[in-house]
Chain A
Amino acid sequence: MMFSINMQHISKRFGNLRANDGVNFSVQQGEIHALVGENGAGKSTLMNILYGIHQPDEGSILLNENLVKLETPARAISFGIGMVHQHFMLIPSLTVTENIILGNELTSMLGFINSSEAERTIEQLSDRYRLPVNPRARVESLSVGQQQRVELLKLLYRNAEILILDEPTPVLTPQEVEELFHTLNNFKSMGKTVILITHKLSEVMAISNSVTVMRRGKVVTRVDTVSTSQIELARLMVGHDVEFRTVKTSPPSSMPVLVVEGVSAQSDRHLPAVRNLSLSIAGGEILGIAAIEGNGQSELIQVITGLRKPTAGKVVIKGQEYLSSRHHPPVSHIPEDRGKQGLVLDFTISENLILGRHQEKNFSGLFRLFNEKVESNAKQLIQVYDIRPPTKHLRVRNLSGGNQQKVIIARELSKNAPVIVANHPTRGLDIWAIEFVHSSLLRERTNGKAILLVSSDLEELLKLSDRIAVMYEGEIVTIVEAKNTTERELGIYMTGAVKRGA
Chain B
Amino acid sequence: MLALLLSFIIGGVFILLIGKDPFVVYAMFFSQTMGSWYGIGQVLFKATPLIFTGLSAAISFRAGLFNIGAEGQLIIGSFLVAMVGCTFSSLPSFLLIPCALLAGALGGALWGAIPGFLKAKFGAHEVINTIMMNFVAAGVISYLVTNVYSVPATVHTPQITASAELLRLDVFASAFHGSPVNVSLFIALAACGGVYYLLWRTRFGYELRAIGLNPIAAEYGGISIARRTVLTLALAGALAGLVGGNFVLGYKHYYELGFSEGIGFIGIAVALLARNHPIGIVLASIFFGILEYGSLTINTMVPKELSNILQAIVILFMITLTKFLSRWTTHLQECIVQDSNV
Which A residues are closer than 8 A to B by beta carbons? Answer: 14-17, 305-307, 328, 333, 335, 340-347, 351, 354-356, 358-359, 364-369, 371, 388-389, 394, 398, 400
Q: List 25 A-B contacts (CB under 8 A).
A: A14-B338, A17-B339, A17-B342, A307-B219, A340-B216, A341-B220, A342-B220, A343-B217, A344-B209, A344-B210, A344-B213, A344-B217, A346-B213, A347-B210, A351-B206, A351-B210, A355-B217, A358-B203, A364-B206, A365-B203, A369-B203, A369-B206, A371-B201, A389-B340, A398-B334
- Please give the distance in Å from B188's CB to the nearest CB on chain A: 23
Whether the Cβ atoms of A368 and B338 lie closer than 8 Å is: no
Hey, what's the 0/1 contact readout for B71-100 against A, CB within 8 Å counting as 1? 000000000000000000000000000000
Hey, what's the 0/1 contact readout for B194-229 against A, CB within 8 Å counting as 1? 000000111111110110011011111110000000
A14 vs B216: C-alpha distance when bound (angstroms): 31
Whether the Cβ atoms of B339 and A15 lie closer than 8 Å is: yes
Contacts of A351 in B (CB 8 A): 206, 210
Q: Indicate whether A16 sits within 8 Å of B339 (C-beta atoms), given known contacts A347-B209, A364-B203, A398-B334.
A: yes
B335 in the interface (beta carbon within 8 A):
yes
Contacts of A328 in B (CB 8 A): 222
Whether the Cβ atoms of A367 and B220 lie closer than 8 Å is: no
- Please give the distance in Å from A377's CB to the nearest CB on chain B: 13
- The listed residue (B218, B333, B338) touching A344 by CB distance below 8 A is B218
Closest 6 CB pairs of A and B: A356-B221, A15-B335, A364-B203, A355-B221, A16-B339, A344-B214
- The listed residue (B202, B209, B217, B337) touching A367 by CB distance below 8 A is B202
Q: Indicate whether A400 sits within 8 Å of B217 (C-beta atoms), given known contacts A16-B335, A347-B209.
A: no
Whether the Cβ atoms of A358 and B342 lie closer than 8 Å is: no
A335 vs B222: C-alpha distance when bound (angstroms): 13
Given contact pairs A306-B222, A340-B217, A368-B202, a sample of 5 additional A-B residue pairs in the complex whose CB atoms are under 8 Å apart: A17-B342, A340-B214, A364-B203, A368-B203, A389-B337
Contacts of B335 in A (CB 8 A): 14-16
B341 in the interface (beta carbon within 8 A):
yes
> What total of chain B residues lie within 8 Å of the partner, measured CB to CB?
28
Whether the Cβ atoms of B206 and A358 lie closer than 8 Å is: yes
Give the residue name and chain of the A residue nearest to B335 (CB).
A15
Within 8 A of A (CB), among B271-316: none
- Please give the distance in Å from B231's CB to the nearest CB on chain A: 13
A407 vs B56: C-alpha distance when bound (angstroms): 33
Contacts of B204 in A (CB 8 A): 367
- Please give the distance in Å from A378's CB to the nearest CB on chain B: 14
- Please give the distance in Å from B327's CB to the nearest CB on chain A: 14
Give the residue name and chain of the A residue nearest to B219 (CB).
A307
Whether the Cβ atoms of A400 and B341 lie closer than 8 Å is: yes
Contacts of A343 in B (CB 8 A): 214, 217
A358 vs B339: C-alpha distance when bound (angstroms): 32
Contacts of A389 in B (CB 8 A): 337, 340-341
Contacts of A340 in B (CB 8 A): 214, 216-217
- The listed residue (A16, A307, A347, A359) touching B338 by CB distance below 8 A is A16
- Please give the distance in Å from A209's CB to the nearest CB on chain B: 34
Whether the Cβ atoms of B201 and A368 lie closer than 8 Å is: yes
Q: Indicate whether A341 sits within 8 Å of B216 (C-beta atoms), given known contacts A356-B222, A359-B222, A364-B203.
A: yes
Contacts of A359 in B (CB 8 A): 203, 222
Contacts of A341 in B (CB 8 A): 216-217, 220
Q: Indicate whether A367 sits within 8 Å of B218 (C-beta atoms), given known contacts A346-B213, A347-B213, A355-B210.
A: no
- Please give the distance in Å from B128's CB to the nearest CB on chain A: 24
Whether the Cβ atoms of A345 and B214 lie closer than 8 Å is: yes
Contacts of B334 in A (CB 8 A): 398
Contacts of B221 in A (CB 8 A): 355-356, 358
- Please give the distance in Å from A40's CB to the nearest CB on chain B: 10
Whether the Cβ atoms of B337 and A394 lie closer than 8 Å is: yes
Contacts of B218 in A (CB 8 A): 344, 355
Contacts of B333 in A (CB 8 A): 398
A16 vs B332: C-alpha distance when bound (angstroms): 11
Contacts of B342 in A (CB 8 A): 16-17
A347 vs B218: C-alpha distance when bound (angstroms): 11
- Please give the distance in Å from B222's CB to the nearest CB on chain A: 5
- The listed residue (B202, B203, B207, B220) touching A335 by CB distance below 8 A is B220
- Please give the distance in Å from A143's CB to the nearest CB on chain B: 25
A490 vs B225: C-alpha distance when bound (angstroms): 39
- The listed residue (B201, B214, B339) touching A369 by CB distance below 8 A is B201
- Please give the distance in Å from A294's CB to the nearest CB on chain B: 18
A96 vs B160: C-alpha distance when bound (angstroms): 71
Give the residue name and chain of the B residue nearest to A363 (CB).
B203
Contacts of B210 in A (CB 8 A): 344, 347, 351, 355
- Please give the distance in Å from B227's CB to the nearest CB on chain A: 12
- Please give the distance in Å from B216's CB to the nearest CB on chain A: 5
A378 vs B209: C-alpha distance when bound (angstroms): 19
Whether the Cβ atoms of B338 and A17 lie closer than 8 Å is: yes
Contacts of A17 in B (CB 8 A): 338-339, 342
Give the residue name and chain of the A residue nearest to B341 (CB).
A389
- Please give the distance in Å from B312's CB to the nearest CB on chain A: 31
A389 vs B342: C-alpha distance when bound (angstroms): 10
A196 vs B49: C-alpha distance when bound (angstroms): 62
Within 8 A of A (CB), among B177-200: 200
Contacts of A400 in B (CB 8 A): 341
